[in-house]
Amino acid sequence: MPLYAAYGSNLDPHRMMERCPHSILRTTGWLLGWRLTFGGEDLGWDGALATIVEDPLEQVFVAVYDVTEEDESTLDGWESADTGLYRKTKVRVTTMLGEQVAWAYVLDAYEGGLPSASYLGILAEAADAADAPADYVEALRNRPCRSIGH
């Protein structure tokens, strides 16, 4: 079964259970050499969208799920991979179970722009629900965000 590395709102196991009821959480871990960032501000309905980019000095907390074929198709719809907004890329996740190869969604747009405060709140809550370290969750909450009305 393919493995999926969730770094955004799908970090939340309850959200993933609703979206992908046949897929189970395997473990959590880190994408070493990757950075959480935002892009496609003109493509999102509420500011820039989350994505990851390679960065040798950074790391991103992820939840690793075993995803069924049926759930993968559903998830592609949720993440707009079926429209080309996001594409899949293979990543290596460092976990307590060892290294795991998984796929993650990467925004197919230029990096830049600010997410909304509500979107950052969703990401922080999802990271908290996945038991991300407190400093990681706090850093999400304190990221710069888009002003209301822009």
The catalytic residues are 79
Rg (CA), the chain: 14
- Both tokens of 40, joined, read 């496609």
Secondary structure of residue 41 in the 3-state scheme: coil
7 is in an annotated binding site: yes
- CA 71 to mean position of chain CA atoms: 16
Residue with tokens 């710069």: 144
102 is in an annotated binding site: no
8 is in an annotated binding site: yes
Decide if 31 contacts 52 (C-beta within 8 A): yes
105 is in an annotated binding site: no
CA–CA distance, 35 with 38 (Å, rounded to integer): 10
129 is in an annotated binding site: no
- Both tokens of 34, joined, read 């990757």
- The CA–CA distances, whole Å, from 97 to 28, 101, 103, 145 equal 9, 12, 17, 35
Known binding-site residue numbers: 4-9, 119
Known binding-site residue numbers for substrate: 4-9, 119
